[in-house]
Amino acid sequence: MAGDNPGMTINISHRPEQLRFEAAPGGKLAVCNYRLADKVMTIHHTEVPWQLQGKGVAAELVQATLDWARAQGFRVRPTCSYVASYMRRHPDTHDLMVQPGDTA
């Protein structure tokens, strides 16, 4: 996917041994870090270098992370403010979110 910059190709890799999804467009590393416990994926940090900000890289990383969580049957707890905001803006992700009182 190319986000808001159609000239940029973003290849996203899952690095389960490092508990993160990552991309390095233009040689600049962007990451979305998570933790797993009891079928809940807590996404706690998203970082995109300033040179890539505003190009859709963070959104693509988060969407890839959420797609993987859905495929694995995980619920998501977004403790990263960007991820929480992304999920609020995308109703198709609301079903993934851990709700208060959930035991998942």
Tell me the whole-structure pTM to 2 decimals. Answer: 0.87
Judged against a pLDDT cut of 60, whether residue 103 lies above it is answered with no
pLDDT value of residue 60: 96
Q: Is residue 7 part of a domain?
A: no
Q: Which domain holds residue 26?
A: 12-96
- Is 37 in contact with 23 (CB distance < 8 Å)? no
The pLDDT tens digits of the residues spanning 14-62 come to 999 999 999 999 899 999 999 999 999 999 999 999 999 999 999 999 9
CATH of the domain at 39: 3.40.630.30
Euclidean distance between the first and final Cα of the chain, in Å?
Answer: 31
Is residue 57 in a domain? yes
**Average pLDDT taken over every residue of the chain:** 90
